[in-house]
Chain A
Amino acid sequence: MTSLIILSPLIGFALISLFLFRWKKLCGWISVGSLLIPFVLIVQLFMQMQSNPSSFPQVISVPWISIMGLHFELGLLFDQLSILMGLLVSGVGSLIFIFSMGYMEEDKGYSRFFAYLALFASAMLGIVFSNNFVQTFIFWELVGLASYLLIGFWFSKDSAADASKKAFLVNRVGDFGFILGILFLWFLSDPTGVSRTVDFAGLAQSIPTQVQLGVISSGAILLAGLLILCGVIGKSAQLPLHVWLPDAMEGPTPVSALIHAATMVAAGVYLLARTFFIFTISEELLTIVAIIGGLSAITAATMAVCQSDIKRVLAFSTMSQLGFMVLAMGLAGPVSGMYHLLTHGFFKALLFLGSGCIIHAVHTQNLFEMGGLSKKMPITTLTFLIGTLALCGLFPTSGFFSKEEILTLAHGHSMLAFIVVLGTTFLTSFYMGRVFSLTFLGPQRKPSDIHESPFILLFPLIVLSFFSIFAGFFGIPELLGRAAHESHHGTEGNFLALISTGVILFGLISSYLIYGRKTQSQDPLSKGLGPLYTLFERKYFIDEIYNFYVSKIQQPFARLCDITNEWIAIKALSHWTGIVVYQVGNVSRKLLTGNVQTYALILAVQIVVIFTLVVILFKL
């Protein structure tokens, strides 16, 4: 029954793509229904867990491959982490599906879109509930495939086709490290080779024991952790594999919401939490994770400040928030990281869907062509404001609580981490204030007929707003398994909260002062920051560096390999081998005349030769 959690959207995908392609409305409903079934099942599991916590974690598994020393299972793992994550994925996912029904209404590929969405949801739930690395990897790749299909949904647009390819390839780079890491961990789980395993539970038991026994060196753990981290970096768009994320905005807006809020990018952080038992072993590993997270957070925030495309700002803010989560993991606070992941899922989905409503209404993504929408679209404005405040982390929204966790964690760890978090918080509130001011306040820059969105678009926004505000009061850290007395709400917490609130308000107000009052067709910051602005706007030229590497280094090297292959391996070696063999055969063919007498002669000569040799050699 519980396997329906994964199978139901998969069946939905199969039904739509095989049979029901023509009935558009039906496809939408089937897709939504196929994700609501898992949602209901997970809610049921959640209730069970609340009433009877001792019976969890539960594992349901069937053997899949079992050859000597090689045992793989297909299984579902239900524990606090996976059930909460599953709730987020299926819950927010369902809302996004419903939103899509309104948003994509006039699109020709309506049925196709919902088929892909269902596939994506299935793959994502597969990652969340997987109980071993191999199954995780399979669904991990399926998520990659589905995201490729969704980002390139409008494939006739060149930029979308390129973006989907880019997302897929960049993810592949990370995934390559990931699969090596899986193989390595499988090897490490029992170097003697008797009982190797890829189970999370089995690994969590065997790896620390092996380390304690001194069978595995700390270097091996470091390597394994770094390889797993590769996959995390690719999926969660951390430095230096973040380049696919802004381009992924070429997909339809619900896709951006799906990929950037609750699912794909969250998968990386989720995996980090799931495999945290590896990372806790090595101090260096945690430091590397923290550095990557912190760097991603602050660089992404600076990039977000200078974008003029509303979805790109949100994309960079996602990267920045994911940096926070990874930083929290690196500071040994997996609960705080997951907490922020869950609350971020709500308000980022809200922001993306809100931006979808805006784009739906004004038909542009350029911030400097919007403005004054608050009068025309009051509900969208209100919900977007809630999302903005939650993302900034203002009391009492959910973002406040989860961000405060990370801030406290950073403060307890080192000054540098604290400054990074605080700086990112300031930048976050600044660019979100900028987006809000440019979109909703001030005069309308592009006069056109703008209406509030229909109810089907607003309904998900309202639900998500509710959760964005109140998710902080549900006690999520306790649900994730932290004991209640551990939460950090002392005087130090209050002090930090005061500082961060001040920083956020400063960011919001300064952005309002710069952008909110006057009509600007150009960003005033571009004059103020000068060359720095260009640096931020062009994303630190990382794309250009990669382009240079690919076209100027990798491409010539590939061509060199091609020439070597063509002229030495193919032409010289294999061709000439062929010629020699052919000629030898051609000559020796003459020996076979078909004349029996010749054969007999050859036979006789051979006998004579052999006898002579025998006589000479054995001196008979």
Chain B
Amino acid sequence: MSPPLHIPASKLCESCRATRALISRPKTNQKLCKTCFLSTFEAEVHATIVSTTLFTRGSRVAIGASGGKDSTVLASVLKTLNERYDYGVEFVLLSIDEGIKGYRDDSLETVKRNAVQYGMELVIVSYEELYGWSMDSVVESIGKKGNCTYCGVFRRQALDRGAERLGINHVVTGHNADDIAETVLMNLLRGDLPRLHRCTSIITSSTSSPIARSKPLKYAYEKEIVLYALHKKLDYFSTECIYSPEAFRGSARTLIKALEKVRPSAILDIVRSGEAFSRMIPSQAQASSAKLSQESGMSNCTRCGYLTSQELCKACTLLDCLNKNRPKMAVEVEAGIEDEEASSSLRRGMEAMKLAEEGIVN
């Protein structure tokens, strides 16, 4: 190592005190050098995994990989930690091809490269093969409005079917602290107690799916994920879905970003509040709809065999609509559908009501 060349103490990495600080951590404003930032980020994900005993030795776990920054960082960090701490877990990449030209086809190329870079098996499940409809053809049929409902329902089932195909019962996703904080606020805004109860859980398994989902990045800031990807020179795809432009610029998201600017710890603080809420919801309100369906008994969809509380599962119901070439049926998302996906309709509904951006954001 080269001798420190008169780096003023104020410019030194606050962790190792040996090299010049290059990064101001978005979470804490701590000034760190690149190496210390990367290792701190990894240490926090590791701490999350260990404290929740997320993985068991010898298991196979699928990483829901879209080629975007979150899932790419997740795959990279999990590979690093698996080797460093010897988790003894076999990670597999699982991608969904929604069939969106100019978006998903490009991002899937990224995932294919990631599979080679990380030495992980990759399985791609497409809407086309599962449902006979690509999102391109769905949008052609029903228009852009409301297409996210179809995509959300289809994706959930596709992930489950992909995992099933791999003989895997645990899928990790790249949801980060910003996503979770946003979901906590959204669930408060719409008064959804069952979702408020479970949206901060690191791992969720529900009666409507045999596959457990978990979020190892639940305490990782979006900004730090971007920094990690940047400094690790990770190969990721950064275009937003062409059918939901600004899907992530709903009012709750804007609020989170404004709060982060005022107090960087706010995102983590909201997650913490969300974890407290989860323990503060009376048991009868924790699972209203899910419990109802449990009482009436989950059964298999008479058409495709997927678990459902109805005769037909949500995907088959939507497919019926599509196949009859009817305009979009008003569908409220069923209990158990993943929070982030389900919250998108309200999120979009509230988009109109953005914060006076010039007033709050800068």
Do A and B interact?
A: no
